[in-house]
Amino acid sequence: MPKKYIATPSRTKELLNKYGFAFKKSLGQNFLIDVNVLENIIHQAGITKETGAIEIGPGMGALTEQLAIHADRVVAFEIDQRLLPILEETLADYDNVEVILEDILKADVEEVIKTHFGEDQEIHVVANLPYYITTPILMKLVRDRLPVTSLTVMIQKEVAERMAAVPNTKSYGSLSIAVQYYTEARVVLNVPKQVFMPQPNVDSSVLKLVMRKEPPVQVDNEDFFFELIQASFAQRRKTLRNNLNRFLQEKLEKHQVEILLEEASIDGGRRGETLTIEEFAALANKVYRELSKS
């Protein structure tokens, strides 16, 4: 067990100086410097000595170290080559960690899981994600329907709130529904700027996404379902009727759109943010079937 954890201001500064490391703004690098926050994340993620963990963007290894202590095995994806010698030093005491130099968006994560973890092992994704690329990473991981139990991620507070939002709230939108179609989402922790180096300009939250075995609704065509939802939020202040007419203007007449809304038992004068995922599914299926006729 190391005498000094990585996640302290003094140890982080020591490593920065030793390796002459400069933060790259383009990679959204903000390193965690509070062990209590990290231990809380590990607890929220449900990491135990039996579970495997996948980390994205280990940085200097602050979270990786805590994962290595609490998990059976850890695989971390890092995109910044300059961090490899630092990770080699900071993780030297742990033989249950594998660092892979690869962009998670291009990686074959399923293959990595097969190679590095046990066949029926419970696996959790745990990460302090770069803010600028949070949504693409999470959407890739949930859409690929990877054999993971959950994703527990530190992200921008506002984005976490949007992903976990419920209907009739300001944060609720197409992103909320997309995330909740694949997962059960909730914010488990709010984190102040002070626990990062350098400090970001925004507050952070830890979002936990538990993978669903089945989506909460049945849709005829997933791509169309998400297209219709995006169109319904295209202009938030406009009614559902207005947004749908614009979306379907080259395919359906206005009176046809009105009939489909009625058939789905939805008032076209409502706004997209008031509809539940069940209502969107019913509407998307009605419209998709109508378009499939022609």
Binding-site residues for S-adenosyl-L-methionine, please?
A: 30, 32, 57, 78, 103, 128
Peptide bond into 130 cis (omega under 30): no
The amino acid occupying position 274 is T
Dihedral over Cα of 109, 112, 114, 116: its sign: negative
Asked if residue 273 lies in contact with residue 167, where contact means CB atoms within 8 angstroms, the answer is yes
Question: Cβ contacts of residue 279 below 8 Å, gap of 6+?
Answer: 264, 266
Which residues does the annotation place in the binding site? Answer: 30, 32, 57, 78, 103, 128
Asked if residue 5 lies in contact with residue 65, where contact means CB atoms within 8 angstroms, the answer is yes
Distance, CA of 114 to CA of 110 (rounded, Å): 6
> To which residue do tokens 């590990």 refer?
42
User: How remote is the C-alpha of 223 from its chain's centroid?
Assistant: 19
